[in-house]
Amino acid sequence: MSRSVFCVVLQQEAPGLDRVPYPGELGQRVFANVSKEAWARWVGHQTMLINEYRLSPVRPQDRARLEGEMERFLFGSGSAKPDAYKDPTQG
């Protein structure tokens, strides 16, 4: 049986994650307040950020930047795309 959460991104009840997706307090907040759908949206956005900014989660400064973007995307005002980003699905 899947668990349900009130998703802070979708602003509605939705299926929750099966496990904590990230270490520490931030991961616990995500687990408690973010749905599977919203997490999938974040993963897609994070992939775009890594590719566009050439980030490496292995580097501490890049990991800190991604954590900040995750916080904004899931719990804040949102995480912006790079100015020069062109969505590949938009031709």
Tell me the CATH number at 11.
Answer: 1.10.3880.10
**pLDDT tens digit string along 22-35?**
999 999 999 999 99
d(CA 33, CA 6): 6
**pLDDT tens digit string along 11-57?**
999 999 999 999 999 999 999 999 999 999 999 999 999 999 999 99
Query: Is 75 contained in some domain?
Result: yes
Query: Is 68 contained in some domain?
Result: yes
What range does the domain containing 58 cover? 4-80
d(CA 79, CA 67): 11
* Domain total of the chain: 1
Q: What is the pTM of this model?
A: 0.86
Query: Is 91 contained in some domain?
Result: no
